[in-house]
Amino acid sequence: MSDVQPLFGPMLIGVFLNMILYGALVVQSFFYYQTYRKDAKWIRYFVLYLVVMETINTAFDMYLIYEPLVQRYGTQRAVTVAPLALNPDALVTVLISVPVQLFITWHIKVLSGSNVIPGLIAFFAICSFGGATATTISVSIIREFARFHQFDSAPIIWLASSYLADIIITSTLVWSLRSRKTGHSETGDVVNRIIASTIQTGAITALFALLDFVLFLAIPNSTANFLVDFPLSKLYSNSLLSTLNTRAGWSNTLKSRNRQDNVLFGPGSPSGPSPNSSRDLYSHQRRSVFTSTNIELRVPTVTTTIDAIDIDTILPVDLKRPRDLEAAMGTTPDHMGDGEGDLGVRRVVDRP
C-alpha cells in the first residue's frame, strides 16, 4: 500500500464529512437548547453528552489525518502504520451510537409495554459495543494497514449488530406510528411526515453501517471503509437531534397548542414542542392553568366554587389584566400569580 491516494483519499474525505456533520450537530444542538427549555433535565444532559463526545471524536479524526500527512510526511511509516488516533475510533463511535440506540429503545419499551423487541434491540446494541471494543484493542495491537484483516471478526460483529439494531428500531417506530393513525386528515398528515422522517434518519445510519461493513470485507488492503466509518457517529447524533427538533414543526402542522402524542416521548409528553412565540406560550400556559384550577370567590354571605371556567364562553376577557377581571366580576383581584405554574387568580375579594 505504497500509493498515497487510495490510502489517504478515503480517510481524508471521511474526516471532511465528519467535520461537516459536526457543524450541523452544533447548529442542531443550539436550536434544541433554545427551543426546548422545558424538556426533562436528563434528556438535555444526554444531548450535552453527545455534543461533548462528538467534539472528542472530531478532534481525534482531525489528528488522525494530520499525523500521516504532516507529522510523518514522506516517511515509510506514514503509509504502512496506522495513525495513533485511529485506535480509539471504533470505541468512541459506539460510545455515541449505542446510547442513542438505547435511548430510542427505552421509549419504544414505554410505548409498547413489551420487552421482546426492546430486548432484541438492546442485545444487538450491546453486541456492537463489544465488537467495537474488540476492534479498538485489535487496532492498538496490530498497527500495520496490511494486517488489518487479521481481526475481521471484531468489526464484523460491531457493524452487523449496529445495522440490525438500526433496522429493528426503524421498523418498530414506523409500525408504532402507523398504528396511531386516527383517520383525521390533519393528524394523518403529521403521522405520514413523522414516518418519512423516521425512515430517512433510521435508514441513513443503517445504510452507512452496512456500507462500512461491506467495504471492509469487499475491498481488502484498502481504507475505503473509512469513507463512511468516520462520519458514522455524527449520523446517529444528528438523527436523534433531528427527531427532537422537528417536534415544533409537527405541532405547527396540527395548528394546535394542545399536547400531542409523540412516538419517542409518549402521550401528552411535557417534552412536546414549544410554540414559536414566547408571548403566545405565556398566554397559553396562564389560560390552561387558570381553566383547570378551582377558583374560590369570597362574598359576604356565601362561598362559591366554580370548576373549569371556559374563558372563551363565560368570561370573554383576558384574565391576566386586572381591569378586565374587575369589569367582568365587579371585584378587585387580591393576588395575581406571576410565577410559572401559579394560579391565574388565587383569591378574589369583594370590593368594600
Q: What is the pLDDT of residue 96?
A: 96
CATH annotation of 4-254: 1.20.1070
How many whole angstroms separate alpha carbon 177 and alpha carbon 188?
10
**Which of 307, 295, 311 lies closest to 347 in space, CA to CA?**
295
Q: How many CB atoms lie within 10 A of CB 5?
A: 8
Read off the pLDDT of residues 187-199 as tens digits, 9 standing for 90 and up.
Answer: 556 566 666 666 6
Read off the pLDDT of residues 94-150 as tens digits, 9 standing for 90 and up.
Answer: 999 999 999 988 888 887 778 899 999 999 999 999 999 999 999 999 988 888 878
Read off the pLDDT of residues 229-254 as tens digits, 9 standing for 90 and up.
Answer: 999 999 999 999 988 888 765 555 55
How many whole angstroms separate alpha carbon 75 and alpha carbon 189?
59
- What the block records as the C-alpha cell of 47 is 444531548
Domain boundaries, the chain: 4-254, 278-349
Pairing relationship of beta strands 345-349 and 295-298 according to DSSP bridges: parallel
pLDDT exceeds cutoff 70 at 185: no
Give the residue, 217 or 20, on which the prediction is more confident.
20
Mean pLDDT (whole number) for 296-305: 44
Mean pLDDT (whole number) for 155-184: 81
pTM (global) more than 0.85: no
